[in-house]
Chain A
């Protein structure tokens, strides 16, 4: 599959608001694209863009609060202007940095 990721979208469609894009759990300007299987930046764009919305009955992630949400909770966060996405990207080495509690 040929990647058609382009950099720096000039329009409103960006990885930032794409439903296929999972922002990094800590550094949300970068994230993981579930379509292309690649790490991209929030201002990138591609032809597979799908606008993020909170409608399906599933779990969501609030990148503003760093918390997992039910659909009902996600709707509340969404209305308040929080950055709600379908999930977070935890990079493969984060575990090296985590200590037992």
Chain B
């Protein structure tokens, strides 16, 4: 059991330094030797609305976020009021002393519904909805509050430097964060190292931020005495990597042989393409001489829309490139016709689909698992394709490479299903977590110099025809129904032969992909209660299972990783041996439960769902399981997150 288990929130206006503060906090704990998990929650209005960074720190695995938290660092008044009910007894609130008079009803950037809820809450306890009231409520609950004279501290930073501070947003956040980290026992040395890691390449920003950290730490020592130091964690001194899901997938694509990536800007997919663009010129070292290349031939192209993005990727793939495009739900809707075309043309293209909260634009910058069925049934006509869903950063890394291999081996579109939570979540990884030595690149059955009479769509037993890149010989790659050469044909015999060929290929996919890559079973395999889920719920579920096990509740977790072709037989066998099946999904329709029923006839009798566009917390899943077990609840909807 983990001895150190800390959760905290840093809140402020979007654009006000919350992102940097969160990352500095994560890095400080990594330097100190702990495992970390942190994610950002931000409003889609681009600037000014409340955003926050939610962090979990453990000496054991940090698998999921949770509430209540041990600390809220509130850079502004809105953050105090928004998170008033999130700090646990014995926790800390760090806030700006100048904000105590601020009334929730006067905060323009606050969601009106939240304003109303706060007004009702404070009315119910005969108080005004002000920061001062919130501070008082928290103190009565046993929360320790730390009021900072933020303005005066910023002036002191300015005086220390002998210069005005241009980057106010970043300096204010470091002042608040440092005070917060002091309460958790993180020394100035670690904070300064983390600030240096964050801004080290930008000396003009680094100096004021280091000064801000020093001023804040001195203030805390002056006010509260010497800090009670948190002991170093088990990984102190080790070189480790801190990366987001976006970054991990981008890295995987680069080492997986990507040569052409397209995108049209959309949350949360764009960061992946940006990262590839920024880092595509990796050092090739010895490979440089062997490959006769100075640098990797990767093109990243921002297109005019998602229709162009996927069609360009398809064009590149037909020409022999390892091609991918990256998007989220709304962009994927625009790609539907082209996905169908890729199935018909048998084009190896990867679509990285970062799910977010729909339908429509929905909540553009928040998470959800609502595109599972959309991914599987994308494209008109009989358009089977591979859909793979990754559960965490490590799986996402290897799945991104496998997606390319499967696309090229089976000459099919592959949808790599991820979500905004994974995209934005930063975790700490070890070198062996992302082991390039475990990666193999399989480009499938290719003929670089086909003989005359090459049949692009040759009918074969396994449905796979040898692939030649466009230009290698005279050939036709067609989105119209075709004969073996690719020439358009409406002949009924040709049509039937091609449909059967594509079906055989889908069956080949189902048979060729090993079962252990299609699904995983976590926990006690003999447990009679089975949780069924997919995607980013994996780690929160495992974390919840650890808690349930401590309470004597035995549960196993069936994690579906390949959703198409669906591993019906194995899923049936596992679920047939369960007395109780509980689905966990971040959607309202129970999309995975629908698939399980469709493919196995087995009913997922109980659902724990979350669709408020915030990620699952482990405590919510544990709560849901307990409610199912104690009350037989058919549907438990959990709603944590601000």
Question: A interface vs B, CB < 8 Å?
Answer: 7, 24-27, 29-30, 38-42, 64-67, 91-94, 96-101
For chain B, the count of residues having a C-beta within 8 Å of the partner chain is 43
Q: Of A29, A91, A94, which one neighbours B47 at CB under 8 angstroms?
A: A94
Please measure, in the bound complex, the distance between the C-alpha atom of A27 and the C-alpha atom of B19, giving whole angstroms.
Answer: 16
Provide 19 A-B residue pairs closer than 8 Å at the C-beta atoms, listed in order of the A residue.
Answer: A7-B155, A26-B15, A27-B76, A27-B169, A27-B172, A29-B150, A42-B151, A91-B167, A91-B170, A96-B170, A97-B15, A97-B16, A97-B169, A99-B40, A99-B46, A99-B268, A99-B365, A101-B44, A101-B267
A29-B98, A41-B151, A64-B108 as given contacts; A98 in contact with B14, CB under 8 Å: yes
Excluding A94-B16, A99-B271, A101-B267, 20 further A-B contacts by CB distance (< 8 Å) are: A25-B48, A26-B13, A27-B76, A29-B98, A29-B154, A38-B164, A39-B168, A41-B154, A64-B106, A91-B167, A93-B169, A96-B19, A96-B20, A97-B18, A97-B20, A98-B47, A99-B42, A99-B267, A100-B266, A101-B365
In the complex, are the beta carbons of A25 and B47 less than 8 A apart?
Answer: yes
Q: Which residues from chain A contact B74 at a C-beta distance below 8 Å?
A: none
A2 to chain B, nearest CB (A): 15
In the complex, are the beta carbons of A27 and B108 less than 8 A apart?
Answer: no
B166 proximal to A (CB < 8 A): yes
A101 (CB) vs chain B CBs: closest residue: B44
B45 proximal to A (CB < 8 A): yes
B364 proximal to A (CB < 8 A): yes
A26-B16, A30-B151 as given contacts; A94 in contact with B169, CB under 8 Å: yes
Interface centre among A92, A98, A100 (most CB of B within 10 A): A100
A44 (CB) vs chain B CBs: closest residue: B155
A50 to chain B, nearest CB (A): 20
B265 proximal to A (CB < 8 A): yes
In the complex, are the beta carbons of B169 and A100 less than 8 A apart?
Answer: no
In the complex, are the beta carbons of A97 and B168 less than 8 A apart?
Answer: no
* In the complex, chain B residues 1-53 whose Cβ is within 8 Å of any chain A Cβ: 12-20, 40, 42, 44-48
Q: Which residues from chain A contact B47 at a C-beta distance below 8 Å?
A: 25, 94, 98
Question: B interface vs A, CB < 8 Å?
Answer: 12-20, 40, 42, 44-48, 76, 98, 106, 108-109, 150-151, 154-155, 158, 164-170, 172, 205, 265-268, 270-271, 364-365
Please measure, in the bound complex, the distance between the C-alpha atom of A41 and the C-alpha atom of B98, giving whole angstroms.
Answer: 14
Q: Which residues from chain B contact A96 at a C-beta distance below 8 Å?
A: 19-20, 170
B364 (CB) vs chain A CBs: closest residue: A101
In the complex, are the beta carbons of A98 and B46 less than 8 A apart?
Answer: yes
Q: Which residues from chain B contact A65 at a C-beta distance below 8 Å?
A: 108
Q: Of A25, A30, A92, A98, which one neighbours B154 at CB under 8 angstroms?
A: A30
Interface centre among B40, B45, B98, B154 (most CB of A within 10 A): B154
In the complex, are the beta carbons of B205 and A93 less than 8 A apart?
Answer: yes
Closest 7 CB pairs of A and B: A39-B164, A65-B108, A26-B16, A26-B13, A93-B167, A29-B151, A94-B15
In the complex, are the beta carbons of A91 and B168 less than 8 A apart?
Answer: yes
Q: Which residues from chain A contact B170 at a C-beta distance below 8 Å?
A: 91, 93, 96
Please measure, in the bound complex, the distance between the C-alpha atom of A99 and the C-alpha atom of B39, giving whole angstroms.
Answer: 13
In the complex, are the beta carbons of A91 and B42 less than 8 A apart?
Answer: no
A3 to chain B, nearest CB (A): 10
Q: Which residues from chain A contact B267 at a C-beta distance below 8 Å?
A: 99-101
In the complex, are the beta carbons of A67 and B270 less than 8 A apart?
Answer: no
Q: Of B16, B108, B165, B265, which one neighbours A39 at CB under 8 angstroms?
A: B165
Q: Which residues from chain A contact B19 at a C-beta distance below 8 Å?
A: 96-97, 99
Q: Of A27, A100, A101, which one neighbours B168 at CB under 8 angstroms?
A: A27
In the complex, are the beta carbons of B169 and A91 less than 8 A apart?
Answer: yes
Q: Of B98, B109, B151, B167, which one neighbours A66 at CB under 8 angstroms?
A: B109
B164 (CB) vs chain A CBs: closest residue: A39
Q: Which residues from chain B contact A94 at a C-beta distance below 8 Å?
A: 15-16, 47, 169
A93 (CB) vs chain B CBs: closest residue: B167
A27 to chain B, nearest CB (A): 5
Please measure, in the bound complex, the distance between the C-alpha atom of A10 and the C-alpha atom of B467, giving whole angstroms.
Answer: 81
Q: Of A29, A40, A42, A98, which one neighbours B15 at CB under 8 angstroms?
A: A98
B177 to chain A, nearest CB (A): 14
Q: Which residues from chain B contact A67 at a C-beta distance below 8 Å?
A: 108
B512 to chain A, nearest CB (A): 38
